[in-house]
């Protein structure tokens, strides 16, 4: 990185002096003991996340910078933070709004894709493992051992679950079909309701 790495003690001491605070006053404001702060400023100890959160609002130090200096963030993590910060600061308000709208749209898409996958291609072992209220078959509540036996029964079977790419392709095709059918209805074209799509219960929009 181009930026030389300061120590946490250097950052805190410099900011404290710029704010005209004694170490005693900083200890009072942060509710961190003066001896502890002194050890941090002299680089004999590194602050924890909890201490950092108490210090940054008083001294107006960037959280990520101080966490990096305290070795709570790696060089790579801090570099990624700076890149992201530069990315957003270079945007106009309109560009930023457009970016977050696109991110929200993408997140909504993948959430619907995940729901589609879980509903159409149910992995019964996930259901069995995660159902906290109990699983019943023919009025009998399955015990943990019985659930394990059911799962174990199919462990050696051929794996023929569709790939992520195949499921995504099917989902996209169904979404396109839904859009086309909606357009037909909107334009008054004859279309049997039963044939609008075969996956009416899925959130494809």
Q: Residue ranges of the alpha helices (H) in 62-163?
A: 63-69, 75-89, 93-120, 124-130, 144-153
- Of 163, 199, 172, which is closest to residue 110 (Cα–Cα)? 172
Residue 180 CB partners (closer than 8 Å, separation 6+): none
Residue 1 confidence (pLDDT): 45
Q: How far is CA 31 from the centre of its chain?
A: 32
Helix (H, G, I), strand (E, B) or coil at 62: coil
Residue 187 confidence (pLDDT): 73
Domain boundaries, the chain: 8-86, 122-153, 164-195
Residue 2 confidence (pLDDT): 46
Residue 194 confidence (pLDDT): 45
Alpha-carbon gap, residue 68 to 75, rounded angstroms: 7
Helix (H, G, I), strand (E, B) or coil at 84: helix
| Model confidence, pTM | 0.57
Superfamily of domain 8-86: lambda repressor-like DNA-binding domains (1.10.260.40)
Q: What is the DSSP string of 130-147?
A: H-SS--EETTEEPPHHHH
Residue 107 CB partners (closer than 8 Å, separation 6+): none
189 neighbors 107 (Cβ within 8 angstroms)? no
Q: pLDDT tens per residue, the chain (205 residues)?
A: 445 889 999 999 999 999 999 999 999 999 999 999 999 999 999 999 999 999 999 999 999 999 999 999 999 999 999 999 999 999 999 999 999 999 999 999 888 898 888 888 888 777 776 766 778 888 898 888 888 888 888 888 888 889 999 999 988 988 888 878 777 777 766 555 444 445 555 666 6
């Amino acid at each position: 990185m181009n930026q030389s790495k300061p120590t946490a003690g250097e950052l805190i001491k410099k900011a404290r002096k710029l704010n005209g605070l004694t170490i005693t006053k900083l200890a009072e404001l942060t509710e961190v003991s003066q001896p502890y702060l002194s050890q941090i400023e002299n680089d004999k100890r590194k602050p924890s996340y909890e201490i950092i959160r108490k210090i940054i609002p008083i001294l107006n130090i960037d959280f990520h910078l101080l966490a990096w200096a305290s070795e709570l963030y790696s060089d790579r993590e801090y570099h990624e933070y700076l890149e992201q910060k530069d990315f957003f600061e270079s945007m106009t308000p309109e560009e930023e709004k457009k970016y977050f709208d696109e991110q929200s749209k993408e997140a909504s898409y993948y959430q619907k894709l995940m729901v589609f996958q879980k509903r159409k291609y149910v992995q019964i072992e996930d259901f069995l493992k995660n159902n906290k209220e109990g699983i019943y078959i023919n009025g009998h509540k399955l015990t943990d051992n019985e659930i394990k036996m059911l799962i174990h029964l199919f462990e050696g079977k051929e794996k023929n679950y569709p790939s992520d790419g195949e499921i995504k392709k099917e989902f996209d095709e169904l979404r396109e079909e839904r859009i086309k059918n909606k357009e037909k209805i909107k334009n008054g074209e004859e279309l049997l309701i039963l044939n609008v799509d075969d996956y009416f219960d899925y959130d494809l929009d």
